[in-house]
A and B are shown apart, each in its own frame.
Chain A
Amino acid sequence: MHIGPLIRAMGRNRTRFALIILEIALTLAIVTNCLNIILDERKGMLKRSGFDDDNLVYVAAAPFGTEWKDQSFVDNIVKVDLRALHALPGVKNAAATYFLPWQGGGSSGTYRTDGFNGLFQAQIYPTTSQIFDTLGVQIVAGRNFVPTDTPANPNDSSKVTIISSALAKKLWGNANPLGKVIASREGTNPRTVIGVIGEFYNPYSWPIGDFVLFTPGRAWGPTGTSYLIRTEPGAMKAVLAEIEDCLIKVNPNRVMRTNVISEVKSTFFSTSRIAISGMLGLIIALIVVTALGIVGVTAMSVAERTKQIGTRRALGATRGDILRHFLAENWIATTAGLLLGVAGAYGLNLFLLSRVSDVKLPWQLVVAGMLLLWINGLLSTIPPALRATMVPPSTATRSV
């Protein structure tokens, strides 16, 4: 194939190819940046909590009866509630805790410890020994809480804590975390690490999703009680139907709010899901529009050059030569567009970075986008180019 005449022919159709080049450049810029945002959103969605998410349900009860003002009354109610919940068919375990996974927050504090320079932030939840089996997480080192760990006086601070392995790693690297002491930012309320759990992730507005301190304590009081319940696989529906009645039977002077964890998680990611489907729709629409544009422009170029194609055929060019000519023409235009598009993609990324987004565009994504549009360009050239190969050589001898 002779590249010289090809380029000269393109030079005569400058507008048409300029359009294709611009369009492909813009498409590459948009597609790569949209994919980038999608991948960023996906990253959060794919993160595992480490819990048995699908079989967890959270129930919070707020009391309005005056008997609830008495702490020992509440202490007793919690015992009876948990016994009743355990007795429900389909319930595997239950624990009193304010920890509601996947709601995008919780409670946290600022702490200090020897061996770690400065202060650190972590989530903190008072609870009892049942919590780990309820969440479905393993204690990988040390021991679980025992009843005597919970301070007798509700106003006293607990003396021990069980932390996530990610927090242990952040604070002390590979050193043994058991026996280390974590204190409040003022240096008060020291707590000794007695255990480490394997996996833990709960999204938070600060980057402390993997860091947690569980402490032995009362996750209940005069303002209410909250329980996390783990069901047998498949028993969620049956358990949900029973929970409220079960607790009302123990004490009717309260109202319940139930959150199925899988729904909490789905709600937490709802905006991400909307964004992803919106972006995907945009990418697909854009690729289709670009493809149609290439088909249209090439078809027109074929129609205009019917006579020349016929002449070339009459002078001995094969059908393959004609097909190759159009493919090569568009390939050159597409490539030029993609090269311009790389600049556009990084330009748009810089613009988005400065105003709205916070994810840099990785080069792999740009390469992937280029490949995608290359194939798209090639495929959309084929139908009109095939039509060009159908032009009979006799066209050359026909006048208008």
Chain B
Amino acid sequence: MFGYYVQTALRSLRRTPVLTAVLIAAIALGICISTTFIALRHVFEKDPLPGKSQSLFFVRLDNWDPARAYVAEDPKSLPPQLTYKDMRALMRSPIPGRQTGMFISRMFVFPPSAKVRPFRQTIRLAFSDFFPMFNIPFQYGSGWDKAADAKPEQVIVIDAAMNQKLFGGGNSVGKTVRIADRNFKVAGVIAPEWQPSYRYYDLAQGPVPPESIFMPFNLTPVMQIRTSGNSDGWKDFGNTPEDFLNSEQTWIQFWVELPDGAKLRAYRDWVTNYVRDQKTHGRFQRPLHVEINSMQDMLEQFGFVPKTVKAMSFVSLLFLIVCSLNLVGLLLGKFLARVPEVSVRRALGASKVQVFWQHVVECEVIGVIGGAIGMLLSVAMLSVIAKVLQQANGNSISGVSLDLEMVGVSIFLSLVAGLMAGIYPAWRICSVAPAMQLKLQ
């Protein structure tokens, strides 16, 4: 029966080509705009590590000024990063399966080829757990091991683009490159398919693409590396690098991997006890405040979806409704012109339900065709937006396109739009009384 309805629908649509084109164009426009903005929002809101993100937790402690909160107006606010000494202390906890503190620093890289001038590069300092924690795939080699953390060894992990730039591609594991005043051995090359839309392990500075060089954290005191990321403090600290490491300055992001709720509770208690103990030593004079948030919570809290994009995604749905409303009037006219034909069918035994479904199917055919065109248009529009975004801030944000989930949303919206446009006209036409119309003929 369904196949027959679709056939009738197509025949009916062919009979009024101009009206059909208008109907399809309206749905296409509505779907194009709503899908584009919902997809744009989705790029920055979707789970960056499906299946993994719920076991990754970001740790924050309130070591701020006793007289004033981190954000003065918000007494519940606390700094987003940890001090060096607190990170060291938390690293001693036996509870997390994996953990890493990290920060970024800009350092000079001296390419092996004399033809390329030295360049300054943002490098992430992290522990060996970083790579398995954030599911980083490798093309050659792997991350460094715990021994390299402990020593610390002069090793690095580079991404595929940096491998191309420094060594012309290929398996560069074991090759050396000078960074700052030391030589570093390549331990692994990240697979080229690793291109997250933004560095999901560091949400402090908005949607920034990941770094292309990673280095063991423990080189920080050895090489006197200073952060080039945010460093927030409330207390004067001295001039020497040692003073800085021992200060109340917060500059390290800290993640732990906790496989289940029991571990999370145990870890929360452990950290709370640490802060209580520190309070007895005169630190952490503000009310006790420990935040251990899942990656999803952090994405929500730090959410860097521009507010205009959020507003647009709501508004574009209303736009789709306006498009559908337009169709209600047009479809009503089209269907009611068919009253004589329908009443004959009714008189010949077609039930109300059958007539209703036949017309709903016709509207859904319009919805599906218009939706497909709208989806194609929105793919084009997204690629234009991606290009504009890249030109605008120099960062290429990958993944600005429709993924499977968004295609599903788009199809769903098309069906809803078709239904919204068609349900009232279909109901009107199916309630035509058979005899009345026959009499008029």
A residues adjacent to B (C-beta < 8 A): 15-16, 19-20, 22-23, 26-27, 29-30, 33-34, 37, 41, 62, 64, 155, 186, 255, 257, 266-267, 270-275, 278-279, 282, 285-286, 289-290, 292-293, 296-297, 300, 303-304, 348, 351-352, 355-358
The 3 closest A-B pairs by CB, nearest first: A270-B392, A275-B308, A293-B326
Contact A275 B314 (CB under 8 A): no
| B157 interfacial by beta-carbon distance below 8 Å | no
Q: Is the Cβ of B312 less than 8 Å from the Cβ of A278?
A: yes
Do A282 and B33 form a contact, CB below 8 Å, given A30-B315, A290-B322, A352-B314?
Answer: yes
Judge whether A286 and B322 touch: CB under 8 Å. Answer: yes
| B333 CB-CB contact with A under 8 Å | yes
Closest to B119 in A: A255
User: Closest CB of chain A to B159's CB: distance in Å?
Assistant: 21
Which residue from chain B places its CB closest to the CB of A300 in the assembled complex?
A: B333
State the main secondary structure of chain A at its contact with B: helix
Q: How far is the CB of B188 from chain A (nearest CB, A)?
A: 26
How close is A18's CB to chain B, nearest CB, in angstroms? 9
With a cutoff of 8 Å between Cβ atoms, the chain A residues found around residue B21 in the complex are none
Alpha-carbon separation in the docked complex, A303 to B329 (Å): 14
- A34→B322 contact, CB < 8 A: no
Q: By the criterion CB–CB under 8 Å, are A16 and B329 in contact? A: yes
Complex CA–CA separation, A62 to B108 (angstroms): 9
In the complex the two chains form, what is the Cα distance from A182 to B322 in whole Å? 58
B16 contacts A by Cβ under 8 Å: no
B108 near A64 (CB under 8 angstroms)?
Answer: yes
**Are B108 and A26 in contact, with the CB atoms below 8 A?**
no
Q: Is B185 an interface residue (CB 8 A)?
A: no
B389 within 8 A of A: yes
**Contact: B329 with A357, CB < 8 Å?**
no
User: Do A33 and B308 touch across chains, with their CB atoms under 8 A apart?
Assistant: no
Q: Closest chain B residue to A27 by CB distance?
A: B322
| B contact residues around A356 at 8 Å (CB) | 307, 310-311, 314
Q: Are A292 and B326 in contact (CB under 8 A)?
A: yes
Quick check: B393 and A275 within 8 Å, CB to CB? no
| Complex Cα gap A189–B326 (Å) | 68
Tell me whether A271 and B120 are in contact in the complex, defined as CB-CB below 8 angstroms, given that A64-B108, A289-B323, A292-B22 are known contacts: no
Among B118, B239, B310, B329: residue with most chain A CB under 10 A: B329
* Minimum C-beta distance from B304 to chain A (A): 10
B contact residues around A41 at 8 Å (CB): 308
Name the one of B22, B308, B391 contacting A271, with C-beta atoms under 8 angstroms.
B308
B274-318 CB contact bits vs A (8 Å, 1 = yes)?
000000000000000000000000000000001111111011101
B208 on the interface (CB 8 Å rule)?
A: no
Across the interface, name the chain A residue whose C-beta is closest to B313. A356
How far apart are the CA atoms of A287 and B384 in the complex, in Å? 23
Inter-chain pairs besides A23-B322, A62-B106, A285-B29, 7 sampled, C-beta below 8 Å: A16-B329, A19-B326, A26-B325, A30-B322, A274-B392, A356-B311, A356-B314
Query: Does B140 count as interface, using CB distance less than 8 angstroms?
Result: no
B308 touches A279 (CB 8 A): yes
A289 touches B326 (CB 8 A): yes
Contact of A22 among B29, B106, B308, B325 (CB under 8 A): B325
Task: Say how far A354's CB is from chain B's closest CB, in angstroms.
Answer: 11
- A285 pairs with B319, CB closer than 8 A: yes
Bound CA–CA A300/B425 (angstroms): 14
Q: Is the CB of B392 within 8 A of A293?
A: no
Greatest chain A CB density within 10 A among B37, B236, B322 is at B322
User: Using Cβ atoms and an 8 Å threshold, which residues of chain A touch B110?
Assistant: 64
Among A257, A266, A278, A296, chain B packs the most CB atoms within 10 A around the CB of: A278
Which residues from chain B contact A278 at a C-beta distance below 8 Å?
37, 308, 312
Shortest CB-to-CB span from A117 to chain B, Å, is 15
List residues of chain B with CB within 8 A of the CB of A275: 306, 308-309, 312
> CB-CB < 8 A to A303: which residues of B?
333
State in angstroms the CA–CA spacing of A155 and B392 once bound together.
39
Q: Looking at the complex, which one of A26, A34, A290, A348 makes contact with B321 (CB distance below 8 Å)?
A: A26
CA–CA, A37 to B312, complex, Å?
10
Contact between chains at B330 and A296 (CB < 8 Å): yes
- Is B187 on the interface with A (CB-CB < 8 A)? no
Q: A26-B318, A267-B392 are in contact. Are A255 and B312 (CB under 8 A)?
A: no
CA distance A66 to B385 in the complex (A): 45
A41 to B309, CA, bound (A): 13
Complex Cα distance A227/B110, Å? 25
**Cβ–Cβ < 8 Å partners of A20 in chain B:** 329
27 A-B contacts, Cβ less than 8 Å apart? A15-B329, A19-B326, A23-B325, A30-B319, A33-B315, A62-B108, A62-B120, A186-B236, A267-B392, A267-B394, A275-B306, A279-B308, A282-B319, A285-B29, A289-B29, A289-B326, A290-B322, A292-B22, A292-B26, A293-B325, A293-B329, A296-B329, A296-B330, A351-B314, A355-B314, A356-B311, A357-B307
